[in-house]
């Protein structure tokens, strides 16, 4: 994860941070019914300038959530509808040959939709791996190289992708390198009966709610910078590290389920996601430092999609969430880094 540039507003306080974050969450809630955990995961990713992947069957409001968030935080918004015939240049941009009034020809770079603050990669697993890989440099380095020229992207820059489950027709599995660049992955559940009734009431009656802006790019930059300043005790960092190394099947602390069903464990980016996310959670809750409980609460979102499962896992019906649960049961934190501990 690349470093964050100096914030335009260095005077932002933790109290202001919590207030702005709460107002963003509440404003998104005027449009999105329920899905509080999903909204919180997306918000945490935003406050860490990470990327987030939402997975769920069609019609659950994944795209609506991300377009709503773009309006609430006043970021330039670019949407890429991933399809099997989408080309990398449709994502990054391309060189076009232009002729001026004097008949002289020259190449000009025409930027693609990735040159926006918030990029919605809609149904990302419907494009071929070649096109999916067009986002790799942008997500990791916040830059795009076209025709030998590297161009920086806007800051903050976030990719928020949606995908339908892999077993749906016409989809391609995301490469491990692509998955690893997503800070969090969230499963979008089917709404409860009460929430579904509320959704029907909001969407089949009069005009739908229009979200109001609650932050801008400068405020978000200050919040992202403040997130990184939250202190983390050594034992909390150690617990995050232990979870990541124990997710590798050849590690001596790996649970039996990890040894049996996992081919490759989480990368160092998994540990980064755990610690950065824990810092943001602490600020959202008004706490001065992150805890091991924060790390454990984020373990499924940060580590599940980074586990490479073997064929035995599919045969036995094992999911990444179940394997992370086994990891959490085996690897326990030291007492001082637990939320509320003295």
Tokens 């979870």, residue? 243
Arithmetic mean of pLDDT, 272-294? 92
Mean pLDDT of the chain: 84
CB 69, CB 21: distance < 8 Å: no
Tell me the H-state helices in the chain: 14-29, 36-47, 62-72, 88-92, 129-132, 136-141, 176-180, 193-203, 217-229, 234-245, 256-261, 268-284, 292-297, 299-303, 311-315, 320-330
Asked whether the predicted pLDDT for residue 5 surpasses 60, the reply is: no
Q: Alpha-carbon distance 13 to 26, whole Å?
A: 20
Phi, psi angle pair for 192, to nearest 5°: -70, 170
Q: Which residues contact 257 (CB under 8 A, 6 or more apart)?
A: 318, 322, 323, 326
Q: Alpha-carbon distance 293 to 254, whole Å?
A: 20
Arithmetic mean of pLDDT, 279-304? 92
Q: In the chain, where are the structural domains located?
A: 14-220, 231-332
The 10s digit of each residue's pLDDT in 28-49 is: 888 887 788 888 999 999 999 9
Tokens describing residue 265: 């464990």
The 10s digit of each residue's pLDDT in 99-144 is: 777 777 777 788 888 888 889 998 888 888 888 888 888 888 888 8
How would residue 11 be classed by pLDDT, with cut points 50, 70 and 90?
low
Pick the CATH number of 14-220 from 3.10.20.30, 3.30.1180.20, 3.20.20.140, 3.40.50.300: 3.40.50.300
Q: Output the CA–CA distances (angstroms, integers) from residue 251 to 106, 242, 330, in the order listed.
A: 57, 10, 13
Q: Alpha-carbon distance 252 to 261, whole Å?
A: 15
pTM exceeds 0.75, yes or no: yes
Arithmetic mean of pLDDT, 155-170? 79
Q: Which pLDDT score is estimated for 335?
A: 59
Tokens describing residue 297: 């609460």
Classified by CATH at the fold level, domain 231-332 comes out as Helicase, Ruva Protein; domain 3 (1.10.8)
CB 203, CB 195: distance < 8 Å: no
3-class DSSP state for residue 99?
Answer: strand
CB 333, CB 232: distance < 8 Å: no
């Amino acid at each position: 994860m690349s470093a964050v540039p100096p914030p335009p507003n260095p005077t932002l306080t933790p109290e202001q941070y919590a207030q702005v974050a709460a107002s963003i969450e509440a404003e998104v809630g005027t449009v999105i019914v329920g899905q509080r955990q999903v909204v919180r995961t997306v918000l945490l990713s935003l406050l860490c300038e990470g990327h987030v992947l939402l997975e769920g069957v069609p019609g659950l409001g994944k795209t609506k959530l991300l377009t709503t968030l773009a309006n609430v935080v006043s970021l330039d918004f670019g949407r890429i509808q991933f399809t099997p015939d989408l080309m990398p240049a449709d994502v990054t941009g391309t060189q076009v040959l232009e002729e001026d009034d004097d008949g002289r020809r020259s190449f000009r770079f025409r930027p693609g939709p990735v040159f926006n603050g918030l990029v919605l990669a809609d149904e990302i697993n419907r494009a071929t791996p070649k096109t999916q890989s067009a986002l790799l440099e942008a997500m990791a380095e916040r830059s795009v190289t076209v025709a030998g020229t590297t161009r920086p992207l806007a800051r903050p820059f976030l990719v928020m992708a949606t995908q339908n489950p892999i077993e749906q027709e016409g989809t391609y599995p995301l490469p491990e390198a692509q998955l690893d660049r997503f800070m969090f992955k969230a499963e979008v559940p089917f709404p409860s009966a009460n929430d579904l009734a509320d959704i029907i009431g909001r969407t089949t009656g009069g005009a739908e709610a229009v979200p109001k802006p609650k932050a801008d790019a400068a405020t978000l930059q200050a919040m992202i910078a403040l997130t990184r300043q939250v202190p983390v005790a050594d034992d909390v960092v150690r617990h995050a590290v232990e979870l990541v190394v124990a997710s590798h099947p050849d590690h001596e602390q790996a649970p039996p389920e990890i040894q049996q069903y996992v081919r490759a464990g989480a990368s160092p980016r998994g540990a980064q996601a755990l610690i950065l996310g824990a810092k943001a959670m602490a600020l959202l809750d008004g706490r001065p430092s992150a805890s091991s409980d924060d790390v454990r609460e984020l373990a499924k979102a940060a580590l599940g999609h980074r586990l490479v499962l073997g064929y035995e896992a599919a045969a036995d019906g094992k999911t990444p969430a179940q394997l992370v649960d086994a990891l959490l049961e085996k690897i326990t934190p030291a007492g001082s880094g637990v939320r509320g501990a003295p």
